[in-house]
Amino acid sequence: MKTAFLDKGHDHGDCIQAALNAAEVVCQKQKARLTPIRRRVLELVWRGHAPVGAYELLQILKDEGFNPAPPTVYRALDFLIQHGLVHRISSLNAFVGCSRPGDVHDGTFLICRTCGTAAEMLDQTVLGTIGDMALSNKFSLSHVSVEAVGVCVDCRDGDRTEV
């Protein structure tokens, strides 16, 4: 059965390239500028499918000679979130690339605690339910982040002791 968790052997270079291409299109459409630092931060967030923390991003950029001040990285991340390219995973205080870039939406994720992969769910049923819940409570909703933690099929099959 195919799941939102990509095969460990998939060509991740394709994921990165697709994300960067989509970012170019989204920014052009929204008349926003994908500056070198924003582009590099997006690329680093897409290093894998596991969320990356801001501190880790800073360290990598520093090693590359970018040497940005922390606010620069946070501003780049804010930009990427606002333009629907990146999601913030609140429970991990980390960032992950959006699998439906450009269509700004709240994130629904299944997160593997073994390999760290955060798979974005495209099914919006949960968000709809939360929306109804807010409505019936006259609650004005600003942001939802659904983060379910467990073990993905690859990690489960690889280590049968953890079920």
18, 50, 115, 146: which one binds Zn ion (CB under 5 A): 115
Q: How far is the CB of 60 from Zn ion (least distance, A)?
A: 18
Which of 23, 26, 98, 118 binds Zn ion (CB under 5 A)? It is 98
Q: Measured from the CB atom, is 47 or 75 closer to Zn ion? A: 47
114 part of the interface to Zn ion, by CB under 5 A: yes
Residue 81 binds Zn ion, judged by CB under 5 A: no
Cβ 39 to Zn ion shortest distance, Å: 18
Q: Quick one: 61 or 152, whose CB is closer to Zn ion? A: 152
Exposed/middle/buried for residue 116 (C-beta within 10 Å: 0-12, 13-18, 19+): middle
Residue 57 interacts with Zn ion (CB under 5 A): yes or no = no
Task: Kindly identify the residues of this chain, within the stretch 10-39, that bind Zn ion according to CB under 5 A.
Answer: 12, 15
Q: What is the full DSSP assignment across the chain?
A: ---SS--TTS-HHHHHHHHHHHHHHHHHHTT----HHHHHHHHHHTTSSS-B-HHHHHHHHHHTT----HHHHHHHHHHHHHTTSEEEEGGGTEEEE-SSTTS---EEEEEETTT--EEEP---HHHHHHHHHHHHTT------EEEEEE--HHHHHH-TT--
- Scanning 30-38, 110-118, 128-136, 139-147 for contacts with Zn ion by CB under 5 A, the matching segment is 110-118
Residues that bind Zn ion in the complex, under the rule CB under 5 A: 12, 15, 98, 100, 112, 114-115, 152, 155
